[in-house]
Structure 1
Amino acid sequence: MENNVIYNITPIEFRLDLKDPFLFTAHHVDHFPAANKDMGPAFEPTIDEPYRMYYGDIVPGFPEHPHTGFETITLVESGFVDHFDSLGNGGRYAAGDVQWLSTGNGIEHCEMFPLIHQDKPNTFELFQIWFNSSAEQKKQDPAYKMMWREHIPHVSLKDSHENNIDIRVISGEFNGKDAIPRPAHSWAAAKENNVNIYMMTLDAHAEIVMPATTSTSTRFAYFYQGTTLNVEGETVQFRHLIELKSDTEIHLTAGDHEARILWLEGEPIGEPVAMRGPFVLNSDQELNDAFRRYRATHFGDWPWSSSAPVFKREQPRFASYNAGEIKEFPEQS
């Protein structure tokens, strides 16, 4: 559909196709059962409890694989993720945490989804946003940082009927509250690029007016939990992506149940995009050069004992940096 505020409404199964500076977002939802001793699923998937192993054999997830030229922003809603990379860094993060990985001029990493609980189901949900980099940023060394749930800013509001609204500010700012700084060589790091990423939770019937951004920005809202969401007088169903006019206020009203929304907006980079598998560059020639470089170097040695390592079940959340020399633990909760 198309009108003067809502450009498109698209049903979503798994992948959200977006626009510059965003590439796409994957929405993973898996109903893993209780775990076996190896942190894999103890039972085969059923119609009522479907799940995917992705490329994992024992533990679900994505074993060792390369990236270059863009960023992955991973937002966990439930479950656990174990990260390992060719820089020698690792970490475990979980519900409410965000990992921001700049792949720059090349990195290998793996993302495994260990099933921690042996006495109950291991429901798993995360978003991974593929976010583009400028040509200059694609040349920089890779880096990552953790944004722990304890540190991510929240804006808590009440509407005129005392309904609650919570907005987690992942990037940019909202109501004068700034997000945790993004990696230095990220398109999202510069304030003038207006990259705002919010995780929004609205009580049933809660109302909010989202402020306008610039006329040149890309703007999307993904309604991923609830029954209905009223957007500028249009009723939107659960698991639909809405492309919105950017330089106007947007009125949102939740339906009869709590509504959760992933909100994405930002200035386009405005450069050619050449994407092949896990590489995102500016031309086919650059892609060919990157694949040759990867075959020759593997973007550095893989320092881990397997292509799909996981930490021990009892490992608390943490991140390591500088080839593992620096370890960071959030306040455990």
Structure 2
Amino acid sequence: MKVKLVAPMEFQLAVQNPYILCFHHRDAFPKGTKQMTPIQYLPNRNPNGDFDLLAPWRMYYGNKIPGFPVHPHRGFETITVVTKGYADHFDSFGCYGRYGEGDVQWMTAGKGIQHSEMFPLLSEEQENPMELFQIWLNLPKKDKMVEPNYKMLWAEDIPTTVVDHEGSKATVRVLAGEFNGILSLDPTPHSWAFDRKNRVCILLLELEPHAKITLPKVSSTLNRSIYHYSQNQAEVDLEGQGLSEGMYAQLEGNEEITVQNTSRKVAKLLVLEGEPINEPVSAHGPFVMNSKQEILQAFEDFRKTEFGGWPWDAEDPVNDKDAPRFASFQEGEKEYPLS
């Protein structure tokens, strides 16, 4: 059976090894103020963690600006894909930046890092819609305690290919791995995705009405999932089975899988693939290790060292309102996307 499971996403996507989790954040943020805060706040929001899925937008753990103030990670990687809006990154190693509108940040937490992810509302004239995926990719035991690192995959540099089916086009952005001979940019050096033999593949698909695409046969051990996130009443056929918006499917990795948009709306899908890391997984809160004892050690290490401390004046820092997309690294080097 090519399609092994179809189910609703609910609070987060039920991912498969080597992935740990995947969050999909979509928010209709209002106009912003000069301080990049919402012009008005929704009533009854929970200041200790605003995750109301029925609300048009969330503050998450933000107080004035939406987002996630300083918090630690160890033992895995975060891959943050911002399809709409902007995110401001600050971390315990003095790195910071702004990215969005199709950019991807690839961060290896390794032995431990603190960072903040805030969502400044930059426009005062119009609404500030935001959409992002945050994907947690596991690290093998040999790399769980490497030095932290992060890399920007700017939207302008991410490889894209187009598949034409009887005049209807499917656009594929290759964030990781390979599709139709198109190779992604390299992730950080210690990533499970860096070795191409691990077949980590992350794709964003955008199918015009009636467009059709085939995911290739890869391997019998490959884990493969697909998630439909269009939000416009598009309908997708997956090997003869419907995949409605908000639904995901787990697919065979050793079969060709046909995906077709059967509606008059554009369909958007996320594909996650990878060979599993065949090691025990112990996860608690912001840490992903191989055993409960290592999780307890992570909490103890963070209590003692704070993973390098926090060099910023606030727990929720943001860049200047007029700052462009950029990344500043530990060595002081700054990087900007090519226009």
Correspondence for 1:244: 251
* Residue 302 to residue 48, structure 1, CA distance change in 2 (3 Å): closer
3-state SS, counterpart of residue 81 of structure 1? strand
CA distance in 2, matches of 1:284, 1:234: 40
Equivalent position to 1:123, from 129, 140, 153: 129
Matched ranges for 1:1-333 at <5 A: 4-45=1-42, 50-159=56-165, 161-225=166-230, 226=232, 227-256=234-263, 257-323=265-331, 325-332=332-339
Deviations 1:252-288 (CA, angstroms, capped at 9, x unpaired):
1102111111011100001111111000000010011
Residue identity (%): 43
RMSD value over aligned CA atoms? 1.3
CA distance in 2, matches of 1:210, 1:162: 19
Deviations 1:124-167 (CA, angstroms, capped at 9, x unpaired):
100000110000110101100000000000011211x1111110
Give the AA of the match of 1:261.
L
Give the AA of the match of 1:60.
P
Deviations 1:218-275 (CA, angstroms, capped at 9, x unpaired):
1000011152100000111111111001100001110211111101110000111111
Deviation at 1:208, TM superposition (A): 1.2
Q: Which runs of 5+ in 2 are unaligned?
A: 44-52
**Cα contact 1:219–1:266 (8 A) shared by 2:** yes
Q: TM-score, normalised by structure 1?
A: 0.96
CA distance in 1, matches of 2:306, 2:58: 27
3-state SS, counterpart of residue 188 of structure 1? coil
Deviations 1:103-129 (CA, angstroms, capped at 9, x unpaired):
000000000000000111100100000
* Residue 49 to residue 37, structure 1, CA distance change in 2 (3 Å): farther
Deviation at 1:20, TM superposition (A): 0.6
CA distance in 2, matches of 1:80, 1:316: 10
In the TM superposition, structure 1's runs of 4+ consecutive aligned residues that sit over 4 Å from their partners are 46-49
3-state SS, counterpart of residue 136 of structure 1? helix
* Residue 285 to residue 41, structure 1, CA distance change in 2 (3 Å): same
CA distance in 1, matches of 2:208, 2:42: 32
**Cα contact 1:156–1:166 (8 A) shared by 2:** yes
Deviations 1:164-223 (CA, angstroms, capped at 9, x unpaired):
111000111111111010111000100110001101111011111111111101100001
Give the AA of the match of 2:8.
P
3-state SS, counterpart of residue 150 of structure 1? helix
* Residue 236 to residue 286, structure 1, CA distance change in 2 (3 Å): same
**Cα contact 2:208–2:267 (8 A) shared by 1:** yes
**Cα contact 2:163–2:213 (8 A) shared by 1:** no
Deviation at 1:55, TM superposition (A): 0.7
Deviation at 1:48, TM superposition (A): 9.7
CA distance in 2, matches of 1:209, 1:17: 23
Q: TM-score, normalised by structure 2?
A: 0.94
